[in-house]
Structure 1
Amino acid sequence: MKIVLADDEPLARALLHALIAEMPGNEIVAEAADGDAAVAAVRMHGPDLVFLDIDMPGRNGINAALEIAEGRTEIIFVTAHEEHAVDAFDMGAVDYLLKPVRRPRLAKAMERARLRFEARGARPSPHLPPPVAPEGADAIWVPVRQGTVRLEIGDIVRVEAAGDLVYLHTAERAYLYRATMGELEQRLQGSGLMRVHRSAFVRPERVAATRRRGKVIELILDDGTQVPLGPSYRAAVLAKLVNPLEA
């Protein structure tokens, strides 16, 4: 992948550069120290992926991302601040990494970006089963490298939006699937999955705890996954978690 790095901290940028350089198949085509330079670099090089710090001089990372997101460049935010996580995922960012960036966490984010590229480049074949199971069925056909697989809706632990795609997470792996959250909300009615954010569904029985980070409330799943709770869903979700039989 062609990559642009944008961070006003030279040491943070150098560390990220070094970590990415260890991963084969990637080329860092430009670096930037502010949001305006990041937008200019994306326009000049047309990268597959841009890493954006949020607090930068001039145009910050969020504002830069609003312009970058109009194209096909994917975005990963890298920042020391947690309070912008909800905004980042609302924008369809691939991921949101907290500094200092760790190699395993970076590798996971890069893999998510790669999966998104594969899904966007895929073309449906007329000889394959339809991507969505018939109305009322309890499974969804999802694309994989070798073709398609039948995914039981009951096996889905959580759903995460990724722009015009979604990740369907099971206990074993994640599947990338082309659908909007609105389409899935209708499709998943009665499945037990609960919408907790504009960009997320979870199974309430998998929520192990809640945690407040500033103004943001996070749901902590039993596998350690952290899912932000959207303000408009907060009352209904918390009521469901506290009184599951009454909600």
Structure 2
Amino acid sequence: MSALRVLLVDDEPLALRRLETLFGDIDDVEVIGTASTGDEAEAKIATLRPDLVMLDISMPQKSGIRVAADLASDPRPEIIFVTAFEQYAPDAFEVDAADYLLKPVRFDRLRQAVERARRRRTMRDAIDRLAGTPAGTREEAIWVQIATGNLRLPIAQIEWVEAARDYVLFHTSTRSYIHRISMAALEQLFDPQQLMRVHRSTFIRPALVNGVQRLGKGLIALEMEDGAVVQVGPSYVKIVLDRLSLA
């Protein structure tokens, strides 16, 4: 498998150095360059043709959102936005970002996002076909908005869910989808045997839990198959341990 070629874009030198350090611990990636403005990012994307661009949103000259929106459709690198401001999430997914990371970037979330971007590059045809997936005998999918319209996302594709203000993020193996719905509504929609609530702002798929971290004082976190580490709310700890047969 060839290394994923990555361009890092951020106007803060410390942020760039931190990303370079984190990428040093991720297998099969190669950081091929850096940029500190939107215009420089566009130039380097055109000349270096990276597979993945880690793109800061708030930058001089041209925002990361604008850079991503103006990219040619083919060939187009995968985009992972990095920002200190979560309010940009809806705009980020409007331009088909693979993921959206908040600063300071955690290693587990970066690794998860990179693997998602890697899979997206090899599974685009399969993702395109999701729109034609036939409906089952019960509600088994959610219509989500994407840059080109709407996509029927099978619930079976959702690995975990996290709340983001008035929206939720559906995380799949290849990308995240943003959708406006309440966590309470999702609790009614999801089969708890498939997607269980483990926090007031999180659902997970129990079958994808690889490990449990004991945090002390009765608190735990779940290590997911994709590398994400998900906190379990105090009131959910017992039911989660029971479900995982660890009580």
Paired position in structure 1 for 2:178: 228
Helix, strand or coil for the counterpart of 2:100? strand
Q: Structure 1 CA distance, aligned partners of 2:164 and 2:25?
A: 35
CA RMSD, aligned part only? 3.4
TM-score, length-scaled by structure 1: 0.59
Amino acid at match of 1:179: D
Helix, strand or coil for the counterpart of 1:77? strand
* Contact 1:220-1:227 within 8 A present in 2 as well: yes
* Contact 1:211-1:220 within 8 A present in 2 as well: no
Deviation at 1:188, TM superposition (A): 2.5
Structure 1 residues 7 and 44: CA distance shift in structure 2, 3 A: same
Structure 1 residues 2 and 240: CA distance shift in structure 2, 3 A: closer
Amino acid at match of 1:94: A
Over the matched positions of the two proteins, sequence identity in percent amounts to 36
Q: Structure 2 CA distance, aligned partners of 1:39 and 1:104?
A: 28
Q: Per-residue CA shift, 1:24-66, capped at 9, x if unaligned?
A: 3222111111111111110111111110000111110000011
Paired position in structure 2 for 1:155: none
Q: Structure 1 CA distance, aligned partners of 2:92 and 2:132?
A: 22
* Contact 1:8-1:56 within 8 A present in 2 as well: yes
Equivalent residue for 1:84, pick from 83, 88, 96? 88
Q: Structure 1 CA distance, aligned partners of 2:184 and 2:77?
A: 39
Deviation at 1:192, TM superposition (A): 1.8
Paired position in structure 2 for 1:36: 39
Q: Does 1:11 align with 2:21?
A: no
Q: Tell me the number of residue pairs that the alignment of Structure 1 and Structure 2 aligns.
A: 174
Paired position in structure 2 for 1:193: 140
Paired position in structure 2 for 1:118: 122
Helix, strand or coil for the counterpart of 2:70? helix
* Contact 1:69-1:75 within 8 A present in 2 as well: no
Paired position in structure 1 for 2:54: 51
Paired position in structure 1 for 2:231: none
Q: Structure 2 CA distance, aligned partners of 1:35 and 1:52?
A: 9
- Of 188-197 and 33-42, deviating more is 188-197
Instruction: For structure 2, list consecutive stretches of 5 or more residues without a partner in the other structure.
Output: 190-247
- In the TM superposition, 1:232-243 aligns within 5 A as none
Helix, strand or coil for the counterpart of 1:78? strand
